[in-house]
Chain A
Amino acid sequence: MASTTDLGHRPSRSVLVGGLHLADRLFKGVTGFAAVFVVLIVGGLFYQLIWRAWPAITANGFSFIWSTDWNPSQGIFGAGAFLVGTALTSVAALILATAVAVLVALYLVEVAPSRVSRPVSYMVELLAAIPSVVYGLWGIYVLGGFIQSTLGPMLTHTLGLFIPFFDGTPRVTGLLSAIVVLTIMIIPTVMAVSRDVIAAVPGSQREAILALGATRWETIRIAVLPYARSGILGGAILGLARAVGETLAVTLVIGNRVSIPHTIFDPTYTMASVIANQFQEAEGATHRAALMEVALLLLCVTFLINVVARLLVWRVTKGQRSVVIE
């Protein structure tokens, strides 16, 4: 065998590091090719969208980002309303989901016995496995009715008395429906990351504070949360990326109208939903190029959010992982 003879000439390094055998080089080359493929996909994704959106980018200029005038039949394209719709839905969903998800994660790690935490953890993670269109279907025909008949009037009669934004006519589809659906959809993402980060807080941190006579909540507040903060933030931002890019569930429940919502019940559009709703029936090449530009904008936004989130999560969990490797 070639490998045994090689051992004699080059001690240990050739065996452990590889790369000297022809077969090993081939092995590295083949798997490396697969890896390069992934890089090509990411690069190609940007290249293709920039290319297809280029006519729109040159025609619309920078005002595309803040102009809220979107009128395909007259060739006027501004994505401002979609940016506002995306920001409103995903930030609201992010705040609601993070509040719930962090509490659940704390409950699972710090409070619940494992016979409770395992099934609860599993069930919350299952939420992430339900397809987007099923959320949309449920959103229209179950949640929408509940919002129109119960949740909507409840909001208008309480918050609506003080804040005009909550004072409107509850509808089946609109901003609020999209926010609720998105909240449910990103809870598992934020919960899973928060749970792992909280579980990674060293036991000595907790013991130190418990030894000083702290209650369980004080332990969480003083020892656990500060330690896990940047990881939880990373998980929340990952959830944000998911909410921003979420397409069909939102398209089905948001009402699809080009306007900045004046109340929480108004129909609007997000970047993803306007693409899903208009691309197939686009009125000619300029409309299609403008939608490609919206897609490019969406791609850039989610790319940036993902980069920030990954960096945050990595900074926290990297230490553990290298232990696993060794």
Chain B
Amino acid sequence: MTTAGLVALHRRRRLTDRVMTVVMVIAAVAAVTPLVLIMFHVLTHGMGALSLSLLTEDPNPPGRPGGGVRNAIAGSMLMVGMAMAIGTPIAIGCGIFLSEFGQNRAGMVLRFLVDVLAGLPSITIGLFIYSLVVLPNKRFTAIAGALALAVILIPVVARITEEMLLLVPRSLREAAFALGAPRWRTVLTVVVPTALPGIVTGLMLALSRIAGEAAPLLFTSLGNQFFSTDPLQAIDSLPTRIYTYASGPFDYWHEQAWAMSLLLVVFILMVSVIVRALVGTKVTVRQ
């Protein structure tokens, strides 16, 4: 090849490299843009409709502007709380089993099922609980909604728990075994406490995930125009009310939907920031 040819080849390769770098930067900007836009619109539209009465009043009859979404906030808090109470012990138990007794074929299959469960559509989980709980009892209940949310929470928390327990240095377990501690004691008093920040992180991630879920609640807790804290009655929630208001005909519904979205997104962002802080401490502890 001539010298001129080599120079041309070199130029072309450099140019391709530059162009692809620019393409990658553009892709990164394109991926971040929707987040910025969504945050911007939720903030600007939401702030306009955010007021004290939104938090302290229940919805007006449809079509009469004003009123609030107190029932939806209370319902969300109640159901998410119940779901955490139901799901956490099962999820952590499953995570411990996977990390302690799951290094075999059965463990592999179980781990696989947990992963698959985490990927199944939440609306089918809603219908599962509808069929299992709502139909036999012939009523929509807050409990049914909480159960559906718990099913969504369990695989997420179980897998994070497992990962976090496996990160605990082997030397810590060995130290406990060397002191004569049986396995259960080693796990519960040494391994789990060491991994606790990670497990709490998993719980918080799951919390922010289920707080925004509406699809599994449509056929389980249904929604309720009135304030209720009765676990055996239909109950309202923020995501289902956003759904109703977003697809409804009234302007004030749309504004309130934006305000509710703002509440949800701020809550989720706060959880995310706290999780970041927790993960930061965990990393420093590990080093």
A211 at the interface (CB under 8 A from B): no
* Secondary structure type dominating chain B contacts: helix
Taken together as a complex, chains A and B put the C-alpha atoms of A24 and B127 apart, in Å, by 38
A216 at the interface (CB under 8 A from B): yes
Within the complex, what minimum Cβ distance (angstroms) separates B214 from chain A? Answer: 5
Query: Knowing A4-B180, A38-B154, A134-B38 touch, does A306 contact B124 (C-beta < 8 A)?
Result: no
Query: Knowing A137-B242, A252-B246, A302-B121 touch, does A44 contact B181 (C-beta < 8 A)?
Result: no
Q: Indicate which residue in B21, B24, B213, B246 contacts A136 across the interface (CB closer than 8 Å).
A: B246
A212 at the interface (CB under 8 A from B): no
The residues of A that contact B193 with a CB separation of less than 8 Å are none
Within the complex, what minimum Cβ distance (angstroms) separates B98 from chain A? Answer: 7
Taken together as a complex, chains A and B put the C-alpha atoms of A163 and B32 apart, in Å, by 31
A107 at the interface (CB under 8 A from B): yes
Taken together as a complex, chains A and B put the C-alpha atoms of A76 and B78 apart, in Å, by 41
| Interface pick from B48-56, B57-65, B86-94 | B86-94
How many of chain B's residues touch chain A, expressed as a range? 35 or more
Within the complex, what minimum Cβ distance (angstroms) separates B142 from chain A? Answer: 17
A-B pairs with CB below 8 Å: how many? 279
Is B128 a contact partner of A38 (Cβ separation < 8 A)? no
Is B17 a contact partner of A295 (Cβ separation < 8 A)? no
Is A27 a contact partner of B239 (Cβ separation < 8 A)? no
Query: Knowing A24-B184, A26-B184, A33-B93 touch, does A49 contact B115 (C-beta < 8 A)?
Result: no
Chain A residues within CB distance 8 Å of chain B: 1-4, 7, 15-16, 18-19, 21, 23-24, 26-28, 30-35, 37-39, 41-42, 44-45, 48-49, 51-52, 99-101, 103-104, 106-108, 111-112, 120, 122-124, 126-127, 129-138, 140-142, 184, 187, 191, 215-218, 220, 238, 241-242, 244-248, 251-252, 272, 275-276, 279-280, 292, 295, 298-299, 302-303, 305-307, 309-310, 324-326
Pairs across A and B, CB under 8 Å, 30 listed: A19-B183, A27-B187, A34-B96, A37-B90, A38-B113, A42-B116, A42-B117, A44-B132, A49-B127, A49-B128, A52-B127, A99-B27, A101-B31, A111-B21, A120-B31, A130-B35, A131-B213, A133-B239, A134-B242, A135-B38, A137-B242, A137-B257, A217-B17, A218-B17, A238-B119, A248-B214, A252-B243, A302-B120, A303-B120, A306-B115
Chain B residues within CB distance 8 Å of chain A: 13-14, 16-17, 20-21, 23-25, 27-28, 30-32, 34-35, 37-38, 41-42, 45, 89-94, 96-98, 100-103, 110, 112-117, 119-125, 127-128, 131-132, 151, 154-155, 158, 166-167, 170, 177, 180-185, 187, 208-209, 211-215, 218-219, 222, 239, 242-243, 246-247, 254, 257-258, 261, 264-265, 268-269, 272, 276
